[in-house]
Amino acid sequence: MFKDLYNQTSDMPISIIFMAIMLTCLGLIVLSSISTNQFDVIAITTFTKQLLFLIPALVGFLTILFIPKYMIHKYIYTTYSLMLMLILIPFLSETIAGTHRWINIGLPMSVQPSEFAKWIVVVALARYLSDHNLQMKRFTTILFPIFIALVPAIIVLQQPDLGTAIILLTPILPMLYWVGAKPFHLFILVAPVLSIATAFHTISFTVWAIIMGSTLYLTRPRLIFGVVFYFGNIFLGLLSPFLWNSLRPYQQKRILTLFNPELDPLGAAYQTIQSKVAIGSGGFFGKGLGEGTQTHLKFLPVQESDFIVSVIGEELGFITIAVMLIIFAIFILKIVKLAFLAKERFPGLILIGIGTIFMAHVFVNTAMSTGMIPVKGLPLPFISAGGSFLLSCFIMIGLIMKMGDESIE
Partner 1 sequence: MLKSKNLVPRSRFLVANSVIIFVFTILLIRFFHIQVYGHNEYKKRADINRIRAIPTTAPRGMILDRNGQILVDNYPTYILTGLPNEMGNDNKNFSVISNCTAIDTAILIDNFDRYFRGRFIPSRITKDLTFDQLSCIEEHKHELTGINYIQFPERSFPSDVHMSHVLGYVKEIDRSLLSIMDDTEQYDAGDLIGWRGIEKQYENILRGEKGLTFLQVDAFGREVGTVKDINDIKPIPGQDIFTTIDLGLQKTLEKAMSDYRGVALVTDPATGQILAFVSSPDFPPDIFTGNTTLREWREIVNDPTKPLLNRITNGLYPPGSTFKMITAIALLEGLMIEQDEEFECAGIYQFGDRVFKCWKVSGHGKVNLDQAITQSCNIFFYQAVQRVSLNRFIKLCRNFGFGSKTGIDLPNELAGLLPTRDYMNRRYTSRGWSRGHLLNLALGQGDLLATPIQLAVYINKIATRGHTFIPHFLLSKVPETTISISLNEQTWVNIQEYLFHAVNDKHGTGSAADPKINGLNVYGKTGTAQNPHGDDHAWFVGYAKDGNQMASTIILVENGGGGGRIAAPLARIAFDYIFNNKIENRLAVK
Q: Which chain residues interact with partner 1 by CB under 8 A?
A: 37, 39, 41, 69-70, 73-74, 130-132, 174, 177-178, 180, 265-267, 269-270, 273-274, 276-284, 293-294, 296-299, 313, 317-318, 321-322, 325-326, 328-329, 332-333, 336-337, 339-340, 342-348, 352, 359, 362-363, 366-367, 370, 372
Question: Between 8 and 130, whose beta carbon lies closer to partner 1?
Answer: 130
Contact criterion met (CB below 8 Å) for 199 and 240: yes
**Min separation Cβ 158 and partner 1, Å:** 23
Question: Between 278 and 393, whose beta carbon lies closer to partner 1?
Answer: 278
> Taking every pair of C-alpha atoms in the chain, what is the biggest distance, in angstroms?
72
Tell me phi and psi for residue 158, to 5 degrees. -75, -15
Distance CA 171, CA 357 (A): 7
**Min separation Cβ 74 and partner 1, Å:** 8
**CA 271 from chain center: how many Å?**
21
Question: Between 77 and 363, whose beta carbon lies closer to partner 1?
Answer: 363
**Min separation Cβ 191 and partner 1, Å:** 20
**Min separation Cβ 254 and partner 1, Å:** 19
Question: Between 92 and 97, whose beta carbon lies closer to partner 1?
Answer: 97
**CA 143 from chain center: how many Å?**
21
Distance CA 305, CA 369 (A): 11
Question: Between 216 and 367, whose beta carbon lies closer to partner 1?
Answer: 367
**CA dist 203 to 211, 235, 338, 368, Å?**
12, 16, 42, 26
Distance CA 308, CA 311 (A): 5
Question: Between 208 and 299, whose beta carbon lies closer to partner 1?
Answer: 299
Question: Between 255 and 297, whose beta carbon lies closer to partner 1?
Answer: 297
Distance CA 114, CA 98 (A): 16
Query: Which residue intervals of 172-267 are DSSP H helices?
Result: 172-178, 183-198, 202-219, 223-246, 249-259
Check residue 91 and report its DSSP letter.
G
The residues, any chain, with a CB within 8 Å of residue 22's CB and separated by 6 or more, are 327
Question: Between 44 and 59, whose beta carbon lies closer to partner 1?
Answer: 44
Instruction: Reduce the DSSP state of residue 39 to 3 states and report it.
Output: coil
Contact criterion met (CB below 8 Å) for 197 and 363: no
**Min separation Cβ 170 and partner 1, Å:** 12
**Min separation Cβ 1 and partner 1, Å:** 24
**Min separation Cβ 341 and partner 1, Å:** 8
**Min separation Cβ 231 and partner 1, Å:** 31
